[in-house]
Amino acid sequence: MKILLVEDDRKIGQFVKKGLEEVSYVTVWARSCAEAEDAMADGGFDIAILDLGLPDGNGLQLLTGWRKKNLATPVLILSARHEVDDKIAGLNLGADDYLTKPFSFGELLARLRSLVRRHSGQKKTLLEHRGVRLDLLKHEAELDGAVVPLTQREFALLEFFLQHPGRVLTRTQIAEQIWDCHFDMETNLVDVYVAKLRGKLRRANETEPLFQSVRGVGYKLA
Ligand code: CA
């Protein structure tokens, strides 16, 4: 799951980003309207969390723009308790939910999961391939029915593979998706993490490995 977090408050931003990454949601943090626009143009977000008071404008303007462009990404507005008018305006402009500050991370997570469930027509929340099962809502991975504990990066990496079975994923594609990194410097990390996944998802008498190396390019979920 990939989330756009639009929030200029450093403390709240760090708190939310850290929490989301702990449950393996890849999180891109934008601190202004301009950064949010750039990130949204890159696309691929399953949900956006939108603060309203931003240094270079109002989150509602961003939301209006996105909906005008027919961007269907579900949006959860985060804002201060006194901004009741903004709440109504936000929902009228096409926000999908609203959470007032201060909030607990547990509540935010529950709202996000409920939003994804409601939009699950567009996004599968249960991925399966050759006995590997990934439940994005419960945040659980299984191999042949047995739960496999994964770190957040491993979970995100497995999710990316399961979204593209049989397709060669380059190291760069993987690094961009999992580390939100646009440089080659992280690509050896990709090898390390694929090796970790292989180790955790290996069957005793495996004939065809799940993750195949494609020499000089990357990996493929076979
Ligand atoms: Ca703010």
Task: Yes or no: say if 194 and 202 are a contact pair by the CB < 8 Å rule.
Answer: no
Distance between CA atoms of residues 16 and 20, nearest Å: 6
pTM of the model: 0.66
CA–centroid distance, 7 to ligand 1, in Å, is 6
Give the model's pLDDT for residue 107: 92
Distance between CA atoms of residues 48 and 62, nearest Å: 11
Give the closest residue to 170 by CA, choosing from 221, 201, 212, 214.
214
Determine the distance from the C-alpha atom of residue 12 to the mean position of all C-alpha atoms in its chain, rounded to a whole number: 18
CA–centroid distance, 58 to ligand 1, in Å, is 9
CA–centroid distance, 156 to ligand 1, in Å, is 29
pLDDT per residue, tens digit, the chain (222 aa), is 889 999 999 999 999 999 998 887 889 999 999 999 999 998 789 899 999 999 999 999 999 999 999 888 999 999 876 667 888 888 888 899 999 888 999 999 999 988 887 876 655 788 999 999 999 888 899 999 999 999 988 999 999 999 889 999 988 888 877 876 655 555 688 899 999 999 999 988 878 889 999 998 899 999
Give the model's pLDDT for residue 178: 81
Listed by start position, the domains of the chain span 2-120, 126-221
CA–centroid distance, 54 to ligand 1, in Å, is 5
Q: Out of 3.20.20.70, 3.40.50.150, 1.20.1440.130, 3.40.50.2300, which CATH number does the structure's domain 2-120 have? A: 3.40.50.2300
Distance between CA atoms of residues 161 and 211, nearest Å: 9
Give the model's pLDDT for residue 138: 84
Helix axes 59-68, 84-92, angle to 10 degrees: 10
CA–centroid distance, 198 to ligand 1, in Å, is 42
CA triple 201-46-154, angle to 5 deg: 20
DSSP at 208: S
Task: Yes or no: say if 16 and 108 are a contact pair by the CB < 8 Å rule.
Answer: yes
Taking CA atoms, 170 is separated from 37, 98, 210, in Å, by 27, 38, 16
CA–centroid distance, 63 to ligand 1, in Å, is 15
The number of residues making up the chain comes to: 222
CA–centroid distance, 5 to ligand 1, in Å, is 12
For 78-90, the pLDDT digits (tens) are 987 666 788 888 8
CA–centroid distance, 9 to ligand 1, in Å, is 6
Give me the phi and psi of 180, to 5 degrees please.
50, 45
Distance between CA atoms of residues 165 and 169, nearest Å: 10
CATH topology of domain 126-221: Arc Repressor Mutant, subunit A (1.10.10)
CA–centroid distance, 48 to ligand 1, in Å, is 15
Give the model's pLDDT for residue 121: 61
Task: Yes or no: say if 122 and 89 are a contact pair by the CB < 8 Å rule.
Answer: no
For 110-129, the pLDDT digits (tens) are 999 888 878 766 557 889 99
CA–centroid distance, 83 to ligand 1, in Å, is 12
